Structure 1
Amino acid sequence: MNKVILMGRFTKDPEVRYSQGSEPLAVARYTLAVNRRFKRKGEPDADFINCVAFARAGEFAERHFKKGQMVSVVGRLQVRSWDDNEGKKHWSTDVIIEEQYFAESKGSGTKESQSKDNQQQETPDGFYPIDGTIEDDDLPF
């Protein structure tokens, strides 16, 4: 079985290109920074994982995903190898995306959107922003 499940943040906006042919196919490439659960002294805190989304998944990534946003993806590993002009062998490992999901509420990943939320008294959906913690005494039940 070849199945990968990741949750991480975009390191930059997805790069989308379209294949040439009678029916162009979207190919979105992006890198997710996935935090490590445990870290050892001197090791990086995150792994940077290359992902590729095709067709509708690629178009969705182009329209809705931005740098810094947290997403959850499901896919499969694909390992490629090739020889360059000098005969040196290169390897690439990508996650081919099968499913992708938003992993946080809209705008919660940026400081700019958080400061806008705190300035508003009431949001359009009728909820008030919470500026601190909720004590048990404050709950109506």
Structure 2
Amino acid sequence: MINRVVLVGRITRDPELRKTNTGTSVVSFTLAVNRRFSSNQEGGQDADFISCVAWRQSADFMANYVKQGALLGVEGRIQTRNYKDQSDRTVYVTEVVCDSVQILAQKRDQQTASQSSYQPSTRNDAYQPDVQSSYESDFGSDTLDIASDDLPF
């Protein structure tokens, strides 16, 4: 069985870092991902708004470096859960639990000269972000058009 998700989209608002009772960092966020085919008659693109959650060092990375409108690459798995709300109704949640988060481009008015990413290692090393040149400055565009035949699976 395989449960793997790869998304590229824009974060809808600045991430807010929270801590669990045990001190574990967590960030919940929504990623706006354009659809390849649009039902919009006026030529605009439709988007899906996908709930995501990042934990530990990935959450700390996002709180420090990610701002609303940033283009992110996210890799993780789909998880479902449910809970009872205050009126005792069952609420079902489907979200992507992120294993890695990469900043592909910042929003134009928040551009930086570098691109950062964080992928947790299996070792207990101190957190060191990977800093490389910006995709936007390399390719001159803040959008990526990825065809299904570009993916390795």
Length-normalised TM-score, structure 1: 0.69
1:84 corresponds in structure 2 to 85
Matched, 1:54 2:55: yes
Relative to 1, partners in 2 of residues 1:86 and 1:20: Cα closer, same or farther, differing over 3 Å?
closer
Number of positions where the alignment pairs a residue of Structure 1 with one of Structure 2: 110
The two structures, once aligned, show a CA RMSD in angstroms of 2.3
The alpha carbon displacement at 1:110 in A equals: 1.8
- Give the alignment of 1:57-136 within 5 angstroms: 57-104=58-105, 107=106, 109-111=107-109
Length-normalised TM-score, structure 2: 0.64
Query: Is the CA contact (8 Å cut-off) linking 2:25 and 2:55 kept in structure 1?
Result: yes
3-state SS of 1:62 partner: helix
3-state SS of 2:87 partner: coil
1:31 corresponds in structure 2 to 30
2:14 corresponds in structure 1 to 13
3-state SS of 1:40 partner: coil
Relative to 1, partners in 2 of residues 1:112 and 1:95: Cα closer, same or farther, differing over 3 Å?
closer
- Using the alignment, how far apart are the partners of 2:110 and 2:100 within structure 1? 29
Which structure's CA Rg is the greater one? 1
Relative to 1, partners in 2 of residues 1:89 and 1:103: Cα closer, same or farther, differing over 3 Å?
same
Structure 2 residue runs of 5 or longer lacking an equivalent are 112-136, 138-153
User: Identity of counterpart residues, as a percentage?
Assistant: 35
3-state SS of 2:17 partner: strand
3-state SS of 2:3 partner: coil
The alpha carbon displacement at 1:44 in A equals: 7.0
